[in-house]
A = this chain, B = another copy of it.
Amino acid sequence: MARRRLIQAVGDALAEEMRRDPKVIVYGEDVELSITGDTRGLHDMFGHDRIRNTPICEATLTGMAVGLAAAGYRVVVHMMFSNFFYTGMDAIGNQMSKLRLMTGGQVELPITVIAGYGGGAANAAQHSDSAYPMLLNLGGINVLTPSTPADAKGLLKTAIRGRNPSFFLEPSGRGGEIGEVPDGDHLVRLGVAAIRREGTDATIVAIGRMVKPALAAAESLAAQGVSAEVIDPRTLVPFDETTVLSSVEKTGRLVVVDEARERCGVASQIAAVVAEKGFASLKGPVRRVATPNVAIPYAPNAEAHVLPGAERITAAVLELVGAVRRLPA
């Protein structure tokens, strides 16, 4: 075990996979010196053929990934902020996610796109989106939302070795959380949720950066006599329905917490899955705690107001359990 920041774990994963397989190529804007920190040092280790800075041209970066992958390489594209997915969206929506089907299965596209996402740093609307719901809606693309350095490393390594396009969403903030990362060739399977805390009264499904406030909420709920289970799906595509549905079977209540906007967002998606497949277990309505359908404001107080946090999660759970059960005094 080693204590690593999330971005360091990402860097470790990249270095290990680049060392393991000479076909792994990394490119993106400023990946050599690395503005987000996760690719720092790789250029010294692997040189210009394996990792290089590109011009600023996202439409081409995503399109090139398709061609380079079709030519037999494992491509890692760093896109810095998930808002820039929009800029490079054509090849994502019209090529990367469709080419395998359109060619009748002739092509495999082992492409991993890395980007930071989410708010909390007063980066304002154009650098704070959690722009992954649209990726889920495309089909054909894995979507990874690690919440810990260990998962970041393990999921990223799995994605890079994989045979499908994957988007790796980095809740990096200022380097991201610190945590223990297992030594050795640490891989995490896609599609397997982690139960971060067990509980019996309500299930909180929390995505990526929202796991932390969900755990804080669970803590404060415990103090009020409410036992919440916290599930971190870790990947949104593929999605571990079984773990979520079993938990709801036990608790009968569901709160989904996501930083992406609510409308056609991940909280809505998971709520719909449970309302469809786990309806019989539900003792009450599902609750979505997500960012409202707004652009993220700059001023920190206004930003904090729209982003989901522990208080909103706690309130949602309390509402579901119907009343504030107090611990015996």
Tell me if A293 counts as interface (CB < 8 A to partner B): yes
Question: Number of copies of this chain in the oligomer?
Answer: 2
Determine the residue in chain B with the shortest Cβ distance to A130.
Answer: B137
> How far does the alpha carbon of A102 sit from the alpha carbon of B276 in the complex, in Å?
38
**CB–CB B295/A98 < 8 A:** yes
Please determine whether A264 and B94 come into contact, CB atoms closer than 8 angstroms. Answer: no
Interface residue? A14 (CB, 8 A) = no
Q: Tell me the complex Cα distance, A85–B261, Å.
A: 19
Please tell me the number of chain A residues within 8 Å of chain B, measured between CB atoms.
Answer: 58
Selected interface stretch from A33-41, A109-117, A148-156, A280-288: A280-288
Contact between A276 and B266, CB atoms less than 8 A apart: no
- Cβ-based interface call for A233 (8 A): no
Tell me if A275 counts as interface (CB < 8 A to partner B). Answer: yes
A314 at the interface (CB under 8 A from B): no
User: Is A24 an interface residue when CB atoms closer than 8 A count as contact?
Assistant: no
The answer to whether the Cβ of A272 comes within 8 Å of any Cβ in the partner chain is yes
**A83 touching B87 by the CB < 8 A rule?**
no
Report the minimum CB–CB distance from A281 to chain B (whole Å).
10
Is A139's CB within 8 Å of the partner chain B? yes
A290-304 with Cβ < 8 A to chain B? 292-295, 297-298
- Find the B residue at minimum CB distance from A256: B272
CB distance from A278 to the nearest CB of B (A): 8
A126-B98, A268-B272, A282-B279 known; A261 and B86 CB under 8 Å?
no
Question: A264 is contacted by which of B97, B266, B275 (Cβ under 8 Å)?
Answer: B266
A298 (CB) vs chain B CBs: closest residue:
B102
CB within 8 Å of B: which A17-33 residues: none
Tell me the nearest residue of chain B to A277, going by C-beta. Answer: B285
Q: Which residues of B contact A293 (CB under 8 A)?
A: 137-140, 237
Residue A125 contacts which of B102, B124, B274 (CB distance < 8 angstroms)? B102
Distance of A79 Cα from B166 Cα, bound (Å): 29
Partner pick for A286 among B89, B265, B269, B272, CB 8 A cutoff: B272
Q: Are B284 and A279 in contact (CB under 8 A)?
A: yes
A133 is contacted by which of B134, B237, B274 (Cβ under 8 Å)? B134
Report if A92 contacts B (CB, 8 A): yes
Interface contact A94-B98, CB-CB below 8 Å: no
**A108: interface (CB < 8 Å):** no
Contact check: which of B101, B124, B275 meets A275 at CB < 8 Å?
B275
22 contacts between A and B (CB under 8 A): A59-B59, A83-B93, A86-B93, A87-B89, A93-B129, A101-B294, A102-B124, A102-B298, A133-B133, A136-B264, A137-B263, A138-B261, A139-B293, A139-B295, A140-B294, A264-B268, A272-B272, A272-B275, A272-B286, A275-B282, A276-B286, A279-B286
Chain A residues within 8 Å of B, Cβ to Cβ: 58-59, 83, 85-87, 89-90, 92-94, 97-98, 101-102, 124-126, 129, 131, 133-134, 136-140, 237, 260-261, 263-269, 271-277, 279-280, 282, 284-288, 292-295, 297-298
